[in-house]
């Protein structure tokens, strides 16, 4: 079964203002037994579609099971509903909350640009992305990754100076204001 805009629009209602994705009643043709459509409608029609799952790293996201029996990321299904095309790139949640699927919070970008809107890593010890203590130099180091390569920004006596340098670099290289903050 091919997942098309027409199929998705026949079974799901999307509200771009709120990000809500809800099930619509289904036709008898979608079931092997005719009475299943009425049963399904009583149980699911009008209710929120999908479920929230977490990745191994603890990243929450919404998943929707479509009639082909496969799970799909809700934001990708929403992109199909709104644009008519299956997304060929990454869909970024601007506010970094992957369960917030308002249309204004979704943008189609390539993977490299998506990395400019990452949350703070759980393994980060100092609390700011791209800044760490280098005991061998007794200095704070600031660095940034551009196009998959680490770029050294400098060594600093204080963490504040290293963080300030990294903030300037974030602006210079087009990172989001939320990059490196704790996830929503």
Do β-strands 90-93 and 51-54 pair in parallel, antiparallel, or remain unpaired? unpaired
What's the pLDDT at 136?
94
Q: Where along the chain do its domains lie?
A: 5-109, 114-172
- Return the number of other C-beta atoms located less than 10 Å from residue 41's C-beta: 15
CATH number of 5-109: 3.90.75
What is the spatial distance between Cα 45 and Cα 63, in angstroms, rounded to a whole number?
A: 17
Q: 5-109 and 114-172 share one CATH topology? A: no
What is the spatial distance between Cα 4 and Cα 10, in angstroms, rounded to a whole number?
A: 10
What is the spatial distance between Cα 183 and Cα 108, in angstroms, rounded to a whole number?
A: 20
What's the pLDDT at 81?
96
Q: What is the pTM of this model?
A: 0.71
Query: 77: which residues sit within 8 A by CB, 6+ positions away?
Result: 8, 12, 21, 64, 66
Yes or no: say if 103 and 83 are a contact pair by the CB < 8 Å rule: no
Stretches where the chain sits below pLDDT 70 are 1, 57, 111-114, 116-117, 119, 181-184
Note the pLDDT tens digit of each residue in 19-40.
Answer: 999 999 887 777 777 778 788 7
Yes or no: say if 20 and 88 are a contact pair by the CB < 8 Å rule: no
What's the pLDDT at 33?
79
Note the helical H segments in the chain. Answer: 5-11, 35-44, 74-83, 111-114, 159-172
The class level of CATH for 114-172 reads alpha beta
């Amino acid at each position: 079964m091919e997942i098309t805009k027409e199929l998705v629009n026949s079974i799901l209602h999307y509200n771009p203002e709120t990000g809500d994705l809800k099930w619509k009643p289904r036709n008898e043709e979608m079931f092997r037994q005719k009475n299943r459509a009425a049963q399904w409608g009583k149980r699911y029609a009008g209710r929120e579609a999908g479920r929230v799952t977490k990745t191994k790293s603890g990243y929450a996201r919404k998943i929707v099971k479509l009639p082909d029996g496969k799970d799909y990321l809700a934001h990708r299904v929403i992109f199909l509903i709104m644009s008519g095309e299956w997304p060929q790139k990454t869909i970024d949640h601007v506010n970094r909350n992957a369960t917030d699927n308002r249309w204004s919070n979704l943008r189609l970008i390539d993977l490299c640009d998506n990395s400019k809107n990452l949350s703070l890593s759980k393994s980060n010890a100092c609390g700011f992305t791209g800044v760490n203590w280098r005991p061998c130099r007794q200095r704070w180091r600031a660095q940034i990754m551009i196009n998959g390569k680490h770029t050294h920004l400098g060594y600093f006596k204080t963490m504040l100076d290293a963080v300030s340098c990294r903030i300037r670099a974030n602006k210079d290289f087009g990172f989001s204001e939320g990059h490196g903050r704790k996830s929503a």
